[in-house]
Amino acid sequence: MLQALAVSSAALDAGFSSLPEQMSVSPQLARQAAVELVASDKLAEAFALVDRAVRQHPDSQELVSMLALISEARQDWAQASVYLERLVRLQGSGVTAETLCHWVRVLRCQGKIQRAARLADNSLKMFPGHEMLESESSTLKSILSVNLPEAGV
């Protein structure tokens, strides 16, 4: 695995392209190749590479997380939300505050403010005092209070 870190992104990309579709690629190698592609601002190629790898390893939290992050970088909020929801299911009781925080942000970016606020509140019950979740919750409450019509007007 350490040798994979020294391989150039072009070599990794070429290696993936030449592999038969049915040949399995490790999640770790796919992640490293995707990181190199993202660093080279090749988001579409990174997404395609990880998407192929996740079809081979559908329960890989590492790969699903990469698809969510690449989708966020592409500002494809709907796709990012789908992958984050899938990641939450895969993580189960071991779900992380970071995963939930990303999902809250993505929902906010989609304009799903009430759903994001509910998720932030529920997430804070699991991770009380988490700084980023607290910040997101506060931001969402501010947005909701501005958007609510005033009583008696």
Given this model, what pLDDT does residue 68 score? 98
Residues in contact with 47: Cβ distance below 8 Å, sequence separation at least 6, in sequence order: 67, 70, 71, 74
Our count of domains for the chain comes to: 2
Task: Give the domain range for residue 135.
Answer: 96-147
Report mean pLDDT in 10-residue bins for the chain, 153 residues.
Answer: 35 48 80 95 96 95 97 97 98 97 97 97 97 96 80 42
Q: Is the pTM of this model over 0.85?
A: no
| In contact, 132 and 101? CB cutoff 8 Å | yes
107 and 50 both lie in a single domain: no
Question: Which residue's structure tokens are 């590479």?
Answer: 49
User: pLDDT tens, 105-120?
Assistant: 999 999 999 999 999 9
Phi, psi (degrees; rounded to nearest 5) at 135:
-65, -45
Distance of alpha carbon 36 from alpha carbon 72, whole angstroms: 17
Q: Determine contact, residues 97/132, Cβ cutoff 8 Å.
A: yes
Say yes or no: 71 and 130 in one domain.
Answer: no
Whether residue 125 is contained in a domain is answered as: yes
Question: Residue 5: how many CA atoms within 13 Å on its side-chain side?
Answer: 2
Give the end of a domain, one of 76, 108, 130.
76
Contacts of 114 (CB under 8 A, 6+ apart): 144
Q: Contact at 8 Å (CB) between 100 and 91?
A: no
Rounded alpha-carbon distances, angstroms, from residue 107 to 8, 28, 58, 104: 35, 28, 23, 5
Query: What span, in angstroms and rounded, lies between the C-alpha atoms of 13 and 11?
Result: 5
Residue 101 sits in the same domain as residue 71: no
Question: In terms of domains, do 101 and 70 share one?
Answer: no
In this structure, the answer to whether residues 19 and 68 fall within a common structural domain is yes
